[in-house]
Amino acid sequence: MSDWGPVFVAVILFVLLTPGLLFQVPGHQRCVEFGNFKTSGAAIMVHALLYFALICVFLLAVKVHLYLVFIQKEMADWGPVVIAVVLFVLLSPGLLFQLPGRNRVVDFGGMHTSGLSILVHTIIFFGLITIFLIAIGVHINTG
Q: How many CB atoms are closer than 10 A to CB 37?
A: 18
Query: CB 38: neighbour CB atoms within 10 A?
Result: 17
Largest Cα–Cα distance in the chain?
50
User: What is the structure's pLDDT at 41?
Assistant: 93
pLDDT score recorded for residue 68: 58
What is the number of domains present in the chain? 1
Half-sphere exposure of 43 (CA within 13 A, CB side): 30
Residue 37 belongs to domain spanning: 5-142
The type of residue at 14 is F
pLDDT 10s per residue in the chain (143 long)? 678 889 999 999 999 999 999 999 999 999 999 999 999 999 999 999 999 999 999 988 888 776 655 555 556 788 899 999 999 999 999 999 999 998 899 999 889 899 999 999 999 999 999 999 888 888 877 75
